[in-house]
Amino acid sequence: MLQRYRLPIKGTFYYAAEIAFDENRLTLNTVLRLIAEPDNEYDHHALQIVLPIIQDSSNQEMPSMESLNPHTPGLLLGYVPRQLSSILSHQLKSSCTYSLQVIHRAKLGKRIEIECLLEMHLPWFTALKFRLLILWV
């Protein structure tokens, strides 16, 4: 069964979210990607939330921001909350398909708030557990 979850992006202050926001690359319904980061020293299940590299009409990559992290295929906006990352990373390893898009964005001084809509198929028990964790986050 297709499930829908609202989740915040954590750590936006430390990554490229402000640049993406200022360059108007974060609009409602902007598609984002999840990238596993198993070598993260704080969370071995860490999932990056990335704004994919946008190409212009001549098929050239937009040059300004991608140099921030050459190992990431886009702009690192932040991370999935740690409390949710182990369940999501396990599901992504089992080749679960998902869609992730921006549903809310706001800039409050230096603070950037971004909320996403995650749609994916989960087994009923995992879906229930995930929903409870989201309420907690």
The pLDDT confidence band at residue 68, using thresholds 50, 70 and 90, is very low
Give pLDDT, residue 78. 95
pLDDT score recorded for residue 64? 45
Looking at domain 2-136, its CATH class is alpha beta
Strand order in the sheet with 47-52: 33-36, 47-52, 74-79
H or E element that contains 88: helix 82-93
Q: According to the model, what pLDDT value does residue 131 have?
A: 86
Kindly list the domain boundaries of the chain, sorted by start residue: 2-136
Strands 111-121 and 47-52: unpaired
Q: Hey, what are 12's tokens?
A: 């936006």
| Confidence band for 72, pLDDT divided at 50, 70 and 90 | low
| Residue 132 in tokens | 């409870």
| pTM exceeding the 0.85 threshold for the entire prediction | no
Average pLDDT over residues 34-61: 80
Half-sphere exposure for 78 (CA within 13 Å, toward CB) = 23
Q: Is the pLDDT of residue 56 over 60?
A: no
C-alpha closest to that of 14 among 52, 64, 48:
48
Pairing state of beta strands 2-8 and 111-121? antiparallel
